[in-house]
Amino acid sequence: MSNLFTTLKVLGIILIIILGLTISGGSVSNILPLGESPTAEYGSSLGLFGAMFAAMLGAFWAYDGWNNIGYLGGEIKNPKRNIPLALFTGVTTVMIIYLITNFTFLYVMPVNEIIEVSKQDNTIIAVEVMRKFLSGGSAFSFQY
């Protein structure tokens, strides 16, 4: 049952990506940096890698179940091959989906609009992006 729900979630994200990149009327110019450098808002104190770390800090705590795989090592066929393969494949897949989804959000909405949406209470950026290319009712149904 868990595989079914995970598949449905990933298919929903892929649908948002496909619709966002094809029918949204977005622009690559939305992705251009706002300031002199990608870290302009943070200043020079953090630097590029510091700013990237600050942006990813919440994601580091999002899921830490990957470390439980060690307890299952005795139950897995050919664990020397399959555990590293599963970890690499899983992390790479999630990273690619995450990056393409964020690219789509930026493609559809300019950064200034995303900042304004983030300041509002009870808003979900994916729903706001979908409102750009779907009717309000369709986007609302994805929120719940």
**pLDDT band with cut points at 50, 70 and 90 for residue 138:** low
Residues 102 and 69 in one domain: yes
Q: Is 25 left (phi over 0), alpha (psi -120 to 50) or beta?
A: left
CA dist 120 and 127 (Å) reads 13
The verdict on 69 and 104 lying in the same domain is yes
Q: State which residues form the domain around 73.
A: 65-108
Report how many domains make up the chain: 3
User: Is residue 96 assigned to a domain?
Assistant: yes
Give the span between the Cα atoms of 55 and 128, in whole angstroms: 21
DSSP codes joined into one string, 128-144: HHHHHHS-HHHHHHHH-
Judge if 79 and 100 occupy the same domain: yes
Token pair 């079914």: residue: 4
Residues 118, 104 within the same domain: no
Q: Do 104 and 84 fall within a single domain? A: yes
Over the stretch 102-119, which tens digit does the pLDDT of each residue have? 899 889 888 888 888 888
58 with 74, same domain: the answer is no
